[in-house]
C-alpha cells in the first residue's frame, strides 16, 4: 500500500496550515479586542472598522493575483516571502504607536494570507496520496477550524489582562519557528514559468474587486446611494476589462479556461452556496440573539461556542467517507439538516437558548461538512496544471459570495426591523424572512448538487 504522506510532507503541511491557523486566530481575536483598540487609540467605530474592511479587501485582491505569483516565483519563494510579510506585519501591529501603523500591519498580514492560501491546496495535492486526501484534509480542517474557538477563549483574557497588543504578540514565536522550518524543509511544488507582471491586470482587478467588496460591505447600512451605485458600476467595468484581458494574455493572472471544466463549475456553484449559507448565518444569529433576547455579547458567545466546536470536530469524521466518494449521502443528509434547522427557527415562535444553541450547531456543522466535501471534490477533479488557478478562483469567489450573502441577509432583516422604531413583532417577521431565505438557498443548493451527483459529475477520474 502506498504511503499516505512522508515526514517532509507532514512538516510542509504544518508550515502551510500553521500560517492559516495564525491568520484566523489573529482575525478572530482582533474582532473581540476591537473595542479596546478603539478606546486605546481614541478613534471611533467607523474608522476602527477599517481594520477589518481593508484587510478583507486586500485578501480578496491578492487571492486573484496569486496564481501569477506562483507561476513566476514558485511555491517555496512565495511561502517564505509570505511568512516574512506576516512577521513584519505582526511586528508593526504589536508595537503600533498609532492607528496608521496598525492598519499597515493588518494590510501586510492580509497580503501574506492572500498570497499563500491558494498554495495550500497545491502543496496538499502534491504531498498527500489521492486515495487518502479526504481523511488527511479532515484532520487539517479540524485543526484549522479550532482556531476561532481558541481565539474566542483566549482573546478576552489576553486583552483584559495584558492588552490588545498581546493578540499579535502571541503568534510571533510561531512565525519564527515556521520560517526556520520553511527554509530547511519546504520544496517547490509548482511549475515555474517565465511570465511578465501585467500592470493593467493588477490595477484593474485591484480597483474592481476593491470597490465591489467595499461597496457591498457598506450597502446594508447606507442603501443604494448614488456614490455606492457609481462604485458598483466602476467595479463592474474594471472587472469586465480584467476578464477580457486574461483571455488575451499568454500568461494570465487567472486561467479562465478552468471554467470550461464541467465538474469544476458544478462543484464551485455548490461551494459558493455553502459560503453564503455559512457566513451569513454566522453574522445574523448574534444580531438575532441581541435584538430578540437582549442578551450580552459574552452570553451570545457562550451560546454559539458549542456549535463552533462541533463545526470544527464533526466534519473531520467524514474524511474516510469522502475518500470512498460517498458524496451524495453526505451532501443530502447535511443539506436536509441545514434546511430543517432554518425551518425550525421559523416555526418555533420563542425558541429557548438551548434550542438555539442546538439549531445553530447543527446548521454550522452541516455547512462545514459540505464545504469540506466540495473542496476535496474540486481539488481531486482539477488537472494539476489548473489546480492553482482553480483553487484561487474558489477562494476569491467564496469571499465575494460571503460578502453578497451577508449584505443580502442584513438587507432582508433591515426591511422589517429598525432598532429605534420596531417592535418584537417586527423582529419576528424580519428573522423569519431571513431564515426563509436561508432555507430556500439551501434547497436550491441541494437541487444543484443532486443534479450533478445523479450524472456522476463529481466522481474522481480513474
Instruction: Characterise 74 by phi-psi region: left (phi > 0), alpha (psi -120 to 50), beta (else).
Output: left
Per-residue confidence (pLDDT) for residue 164, from 0 to 100: 79
Q: Which residue has the higher pLDDT, 335 or 136?
A: 335
Q: 66 with 118: CB under 8 angstroms?
A: yes
The pLDDT of 206-226, averaged and rounded, is 71
Domains 1-186 and 254-462 share a fold: yes
Residue 206 reports pLDDT greater than 60: yes
Of the candidates 218, 215, 267, which has an alpha carbon nearest to the alpha carbon of residue 393? 267
Burial state string for 153-187 with b = 16 or more CB within 10 A and e = fewer than 16: ebbbebbeeeebbbbbbbbeeebeebbebbeeebe
Per-residue confidence (pLDDT) for residue 448, from 0 to 100: 83
Per-residue confidence (pLDDT) for residue 103, from 0 to 100: 83
pTM of the model: 0.67
Q: 138 with 372: CB under 8 angstroms?
A: yes
DSSP summary character for residue 49:
T
Confidence of residue 271 (pLDDT cuts 50, 70, 90): confident
Q: Which residue has the higher pLDDT, 208 or 52?
A: 208
The pLDDT of 208-213, averaged and rounded, is 74
Cell of residue 216, nine digits? 457591498
Output the furthest CA–CA distance in the chain (Å, rounded).
67
pLDDT digits (tens, 9 = 90+) for 233-263: 998 898 888 888 877 777 676 777 777 777 7
Q: Which residue has the higher pLDDT, 227 or 1?
A: 227
pLDDT digits (tens, 9 = 90+) for 281-335: 877 777 777 777 777 656 766 777 787 778 777 777 776 776 677 777 888 888 8
**For the chain, percent of residues with pLDDT exceeding 90:** 1
Correct CATH for 254-462 of 1.20.140.10, 1.20.1250.20, 1.25.60.10, 1.10.3720.10: 1.20.1250.20
pLDDT digits (tens, 9 = 90+) for 390-443: 777 777 777 777 766 766 777 777 776 655 455 666 677 878 888 888 889 888
The pLDDT of 60-66, averaged and rounded, is 73
Domain ranges of the chain: 1-186, 197-250, 254-462
**Alpha carbon distance 106, 370 (integer Å):** 31
Per-residue confidence (pLDDT) for residue 342, from 0 to 100: 85
Residue 352 reports pLDDT greater than 70: yes
Q: 292 with 431: CB under 8 angstroms?
A: yes
**Alpha carbon distance 363, 352 (integer Å):** 16
**Alpha carbon distance 50, 422 (integer Å):** 29
Confidence of residue 91 (pLDDT cuts 50, 70, 90): very high
Alpha helices in 42-74 (DSSP H): 45-48, 50-73
Looking at domain 1-186, what is its CATH homologous superfamily?
MFS general substrate transporter like domains (1.20.1250.20)
pLDDT digits (tens, 9 = 90+) for 153-189: 676 667 777 877 888 888 889 888 888 888 887 777 6
Residue 194 reports pLDDT greater than 70: no
Residue 145 reports pLDDT greater than 60: yes
**Residue 72 C-beta-side C-alpha neighbours within 13 Å:** 14
Amino acid at each position: 500500500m502506498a504511503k499516505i504522506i512522508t515526514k517532509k510532507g507532514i512538516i510542509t503541511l504544518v508550515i502551510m496550515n500553521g500560517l492559516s491557523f495564525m491568520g484566523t486566530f489573529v482575525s478572530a481575536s482582533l474582532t473581540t479586542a476591537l473595542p479596546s483598540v478603539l478606546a486605546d487609540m481614541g478613534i471611533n467605530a467607523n474608522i476602527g472598522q477599517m481594520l477589518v474592511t481593508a484587510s478583507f479587501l486586500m485578501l480578496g485582491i491578492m487571492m486573484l493575483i496569486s496564481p501569477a505569483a506562483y507561476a513566476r516565483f514558485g511555491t517555496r519563494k512565495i511561502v517564505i516571502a509570505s511568512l516574512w510579510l506576516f512577521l513584519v506585519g505582526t511586528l508593526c501591529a504589536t508595537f503600533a504607536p498609532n492607528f496608521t501603523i496598525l492598519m499597515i500591519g493588518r494590510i501586510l498580514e492580509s497580503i501574506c494570507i492572500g498570497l499563500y492560501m491558494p498554495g495550500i491546496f497545491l502543496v496538499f495535492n502534491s504531498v498527500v496520496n489521492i486515495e487518502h486526501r479526504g481523511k488527511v484534509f479532515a484532520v487539517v480542517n479540524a485543526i484549522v477550524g479550532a482556531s476561532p474557538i481558541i481565539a474566542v477563549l483566549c482573546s478576552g483574557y489576553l486583552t483584559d489582562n495584558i492588552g490588545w497588543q498581546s493578540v499579535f504578540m502571541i503568534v510571533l514565536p510561531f512565525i519564527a519557528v515556521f520560517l526556520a522550518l520553511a527554509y530547511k524543509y519546504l520544496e517547490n511544488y509548482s511549475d515555474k514559468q517565465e511570465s511578465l507582471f501585467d500592470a493593467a491586470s493588477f490595477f484593474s482587478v485591484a480597483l474592481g474587486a476593491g470597490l465591489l467588496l467595499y461597496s457591498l460591505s457598506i450597502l446594508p447600512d447606507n442603501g443604494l446611494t448614488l456614490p455606492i451605485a457609481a462604485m458598483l458600476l466602476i467595479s463592474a467595468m474594471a472587472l469586465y476589462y480584467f476578464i477580457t484581458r486574461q483571455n488575451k494574455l499568454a500568461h494570465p493572472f487567472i486561467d479562465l479556461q478552468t471554467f470550461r471544466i464541467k465538474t469544476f463549475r458544478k462543484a464551485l456553484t455548490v461551494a459558493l452556496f455553502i459560503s453564503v449559507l455559512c457566513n451569513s448565518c454566522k453574522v445574523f444569529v448574534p444580531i438575532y440573539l441581541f435584538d430578540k433576547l437582549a442578551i450580552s455579547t459574552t452570553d451570545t458567545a457562550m451560546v454559539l461556542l458549542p456549535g463552533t466546536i462541533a463545526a470544527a470536530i464533526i466534519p473531520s469524521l467524514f474524511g474516510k467517507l469522502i475518500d470512498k466518494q460517498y458524496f451524495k449521502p453526505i451532501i443530502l443528509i447535511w443539506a436536509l439538516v441545514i434546511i430543517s434547522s432554518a425551518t425550525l427557527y421559523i416555526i418555533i415562535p420563542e425558541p429557548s437558548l438551548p434550542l438555539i444553541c442546538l439549531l445553530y450547531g447543527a446548521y454550522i456543522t452541516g455547512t462545514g461538512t459540505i464545504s469540506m466535501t466540495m473542496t476535496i471534490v474540486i481539488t481531486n477533479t482539477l488537472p494539476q496544471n489548473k489546480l492553482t488557478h482553480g483553487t484561487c478562483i474558489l477562494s476569491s469567489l467564496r469571499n465575494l459570495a460571503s460578502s453578497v450573502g451577508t449584505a443580502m441577509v442584513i438587507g432582508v432583516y433591515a426591511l422589517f426591523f429598525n432598532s429605534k422604531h420596531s417592535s418584537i413583532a417586527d423582529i419576528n417577521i424580519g428573522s423569519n424572512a431571513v431564515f426563509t431565505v436561508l432555507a430556500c438557498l439551501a434547497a436550491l443548493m441541494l437541487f444543484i448538487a443532486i443534479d450533478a451527483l445523479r450524472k456522476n459529475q463529481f466522481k474522481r477520474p480513474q
